[in-house]
A and B are shown apart, each in its own frame.
Chain A
C-alpha cells in the first residue's frame, strides 16, 4: 500500500502558531505519512538556525493564561507596553515546560529526523533577505508551483 501524504503551508511564526504545523507534521510522520512543510512569509523564520520565538497578547482576546486559579486575559492597552510581549512569551514558555509540552526546537528536530520534506519559499527568502546559510540543514528552496505539485499528490493539505 502506498503511504498517505500530507502537506502544510506554514505562514505564521509566533511561539503559539508555530505549534500546530510542527505537532501535526511530526505526528503524521510518526504515523507513516509522507509529510511536506512549505514555509512562507512569517512561517519562514521557523527555519532559522537560532529560534527566538515570541508571542503577543495584543489583539488576542482568546489568550487567557491560568493564573492563581483563574484565567487572565490582558487588555490591549497593557499589551502595548514595551516588554509585555517578552514577559508573556517567557510566561508561555515556562508554562509549556511545566506541562510537558515539547519545545519548537525539539519538534523541528523531530521533523527533520523523521524525514519531513521542508521547502523554504524562495520569494519570501528574497523579500526578507535570507539565504539558506541562515537556515538549519535540510530545507530546499521552492516556489508556489513546487508546492502545488506536492499538494496535487497529497491526501491532506493544510494551511496554517
Chain B
C-alpha cells in the first residue's frame, strides 16, 4: 500500500486511522465507555444522610431490605474497603451491576448511596440514573455525602472483598 508522502496527506491519513481505531476500541473493548450514554446528567436535589444515620441503619442492612446501601465506586475501590452490607454499583457499567441490587432497591424504604466523598459526584449521578432508567422512586433515595472518606475518618467498621 502506498502511503502519502506529503505532510498534509500523512496528517489526513493518520487522523482518519486514529478515529477509526478509537471507534473500534469503543465497540470492542469491554472496559471502554458507552458512546451513547450521558455520564453527566443534570443533578437533582436528593435528600442527604450523615455517617451516624448510616451507622444506625447497619443492623437493618443485614436483616431485611428496609434499607439498602449502595457503593457507587469502582470494583477496585469497593474490594479495598466498603461499608459493611453495601451493594456495589459501578455507575459506569450499570447494565452489569444494577440487576443484582434492583429487587432490594425496589422493596426498600431507604436506598442510601455513597461514593468516595469529597468532590466525588458518582453517588448523585447514580441516583439520577436509578430514577430515570430504573424507575426507583426519588423519595426513597438518599445520598451519604461524606462517603467513604468520612466513614473511614470516623473509624466506623469497614468490610473488604468482592461484591455481595
Asked if A and B are interacting partners, one says no
